[in-house]
Amino acid sequence: VSCGDLRGARRVVREMRNAGLAPGVVEHTSLMKGHLDAGDVHGAEGVFEAMSSQQPPVAPDRRAVNTFLRGCVKLGDVEAAERVRARLGVWGVEPDATTWKCAVQLLSQGLRLSPARAIARELRAAGAGEVLGSLDNDVFLPLAVARTACLLG
């Protein structure tokens, strides 16, 4: 996938399945990244569905979720990101600094001031120092909210 060969990556996953080998979260995450690099958010979202329908099911981890969210930031797909973010609890994925940064960045890109502001406030009120102190979130989150507020007037 890193070399831009999404077709080849999908073929390898298909061959794994045909050989009785179940792709794990790493393989699925790589495939998801390939879809996102190709601008195919729908295909990347379909990887989550393939993971849950596989026997036994493969639960996405934080890296898979953050890979998807970063792709959504790049492609500007707020709705897809919010659909995935809504499933974090079902998958048992705890958001980290990257998850929150992507969420606020996407909401800001989509000019969704209220939910972006709510996340920033909740994190600050919860004293989420490890989230706010890493990845420049202490500055980034309020700045993203302020930028959105300025754009909306």
Place of tokens 């309020």: 142
Packing angle, helices 97-109 and 113-125, rounded to 10: 150
CB 66 within 8 A of CB 57: no
| Contact present, 12 and 4 (Cβ < 8 Å) | no
Exposure letters 102-117 (e unless 16+ CB within 10 A, then b): bbbbbbbbbebbebbb
| Single pTM value for the model | 0.88
Q: What is the pLDDT of residues 109-121, one digit of tens each?
A: 999 999 999 998 8
Amino acid letter, 146? A
Q: What is the pLDDT of residue 13?
A: 84
The residue behind tokens 């420049």 is 136
Q: Find the helix packing angle between 97-109 and 137-152, rounded to 10°.
A: 10
Question: For residues 109 and 73, is the Cβ–Cβ distance under 8 A?
Answer: yes
Measured in degrees and rounded to the nearest 5, phi and psi for residue 106 equal -65, -45
Q: How does pLDDT run across 65-112, given as a tens digit for each residue?
A: 999 999 999 999 999 999 999 999 999 999 988 999 999 999 999 999
